[in-house]
Every structure is written in structure tokens, then in C-alpha cells.
Amino acid sequence: MEGQAGPEALGAARGGAFSFGLADAEKPHSLVGRSRLPSSGLLRSSAHPSKAAETLRHPVKPAPRDIDLVIPLYRERESLPALFSALGREQGLLGQGRVLFVDDASVDGSGDSVEAAIARGLPFAATLLRHKKNRGLTAALRTGFEASNSDALGWVDADLSYPIEIFAELRQALAGGAGLAISSPWHPEGEAVDVPRLRVLLSRGLSSLYRILHDPRIYTWSGMVRLWRRELLARCLPTRPGHLGVTESLVRAIQLGAEVVEVPARLAWEPGRRSGLRLGPAIRGHLGLLRDVLLDRLEPPVLTHDSSSGGSPDSSKDA
């Protein structure tokens, strides 16, 4: 999903205590199997933190009580009925949190469909945030972050390429002390179904580069479906456009020394779905990010309400 502007926020904010667990700056690299979680393949990663992490040795905080889910929308109208149904089945996951739909000036009426569903009544708390013009995935994620107030924040693909049930495992990982839990189809226990071969080769290839050049313990670097402790995400908000920003945010978390848990996941595309990814720009973008990481030129993110960053919605509506 490319491009997003300030949204019309359709929802009331709730307060919450925000926290995240950072690895001990003195702790060596380690991978620990999380046997008490549903999958024995869950991996815990505590990378050597950057200098910025030396002042961030917060104690591990309790499991998040409330979760907000951010769902960017661009040409997703056909996916909405199944999405509403899946979210309704898992509404207990949210606690007092909300689903934050971010309409990135979608031309197929996705935002209008969500607004109509909110007016009819949904089985979960929901807010619609609108961008007046298309700003891209990164801006949509930032808009969702600034509208959220829960302990934890999840990123969801509207087409349910990953089953919404994965968030039960992601939440359990945060309950174990992680600051970030990520869905991982490239984990040895994960899988990909009906994903175009070129897309698989690109994603696996780039993930291998990040493993070689940055951190060997993370298998999937570009998957968007994740669950963050909100305070950690505030320090890792992406600035690069599109899915490159998704990878950037993970890089930032690792540089801070955050504890990252990787959950094996099933990535499934609808048969016949086409990838809108532009191969050349994607490769150049990731090579540029890797260069900046290796040369220690990755600037800290800056929270802003400037509409050019997509941080504030043009409008919003609540359920």
C-alpha cells in the first residue's frame, strides 16, 4: 500500500501505560526457544544495542492489557467482509483497544465501506482515519500510531494474508517480556502459500542479506504483521516509504537492543492475486537502508503532526 495523508479520526482515545522490554546492554547474542508458547519455533532475539540503547535499560513491563490494531486501506473493499468477520471472532484480543482503519485515499470506496459498517454497528470498537490524498504505507502506519492509546499496537494486512489468529501468539510473546513480536513465514516452521515466485525470491533474498549484514537470528525482515509495545514503536517509527519502512522499523528496534520474538506464520495469497511491488525500486531501497545501517547513518525517527509525514488524519470517525 503506497501513500497516505492525515485522516478523519473516527474514534475516542483511551489512556494507557506504555512500556517495552530492552535487552541488557551487556548481554551477549542469544537465541532462546520459547517452549511455553504454542510453537517450539518461537525465537527470542536480543541484539547488541547501539549507543542509544545505553540510556534505555527499562525493566520488563507487564503484558499489554489493551491492543489497538492498525489496518491500512488502499483498494481493499473486496477484502472487508472477511476482515470484519475475522476481527469479530477475535474481538476479545483487543481488551479496551480499537481497530484503527486508515483509508489512504483509496479509489475503490474502501473508506466509505468501513464508515457504513461502523454506522451499522461492528462487534468491536473501531475508528476510521482518512487521508485526503494517497501517502503510502509508512504514512498510514504513522497515522494509526498517533491515533492509538493502548498498551500495544498491531499492524494488520487488510487482505488477511496472515490469519488474524496469529495475534494471540504475538500477544503471548509480549506477555513473556518482548518489546516486539513479528510474524515469520521464512522461519523454518513457517510457510508461504500461493505467493508469486518472484515475490518469494525477493523477500527471502533480501532477508538473507539482512541476516548476513545485520542480525543472523531474524528470518523475516519485511513482513508487516507485527505487535509492538507502544513505547518501543514510538522510537522505531518508519520514515522510508512503503514496505521498506516496515523493515526499517525492525532494524531500529534491534539497534535499540529491544527484545524481538519471531513467531512462525503461514503467509497465504488468494490464487491469482498480483503483486504490485516494483522490483527495481524495492531492491535499491533495501540496499540504501543496509548501507545506512552499516555506515551508522540511520537517523532517529522524529514524531510530528506535520501532515506531510502522515502523522495526523484529515478526518476521523468512531464506532
pTM for the model stands at: 0.78
**Segment 203-231, tens digit of pLDDT:** 898 899 999 989 999 999 999 999 999 99
**pLDDT more than 90, % of the chain:** 56
145 or 34, higher pLDDT: 145
Structural domain includes residue 11: no
Question: How high does pLDDT run on average in the chain?
Answer: 79
Q: Which residues contact 247 (CB under 8 A, 6 or more apart)?
A: 206, 210, 221, 222, 286, 289
167 or 1, higher pLDDT: 167
The residue type found at 122 is: L
Structural domain includes residue 130: yes
Structural domain includes residue 6: no
Burial letters 201-236, b for 16+ CB under 10 A, else e: ebbbebbeebbeebbebbbbbbbbbbbbbbbbbbbb
Structural domain includes residue 160: yes
Q: For the domain that residue 172 is a member of, what is the CATH number?
A: 3.90.550.10
The residue type found at 97 is: G
Segment 30-41 mean pLDDT? 31
Helix, strand, coil: what percent of the chain each, to 5?
35, 20, 45
Per-residue pLDDT for 2 more than 50? no
Distance separating alpha carbons of residues 81 and 106, to the nearest angstrom = 17
Q: Give the residue from 178, 191, 258, 198 showing the smallest Cα distance to 223.
A: 191
Can you give the residue range of the structural domain that contains 210?
22-318
The number of distinct structural domains making up the chain is 1
130 close to 158: Cβ distance less than 8 angstroms: no
47 or 68, higher pLDDT: 68
Structural domain includes residue 8: no
pLDDT given for residue 179 in this prediction: 96
pLDDT given for residue 294 in this prediction: 87
Structural domain includes residue 16: no
Structural domain includes residue 184: yes
Q: Which residues contact 296 (CB under 8 A, 6 or more apart)?
A: 50
Cα separation values, 261 from 1, 173, 250, Å: 25, 6, 11
Q: Which residues contact 293 (CB under 8 A, 6 or more apart)?
A: 213, 214, 251, 255
271 close to 245: Cβ distance less than 8 angstroms: no
Structural domain includes residue 97: yes
**Segment 253-292, tens digit of pLDDT:** 999 999 999 999 999 987 766 655 666 777 888 888 989 8
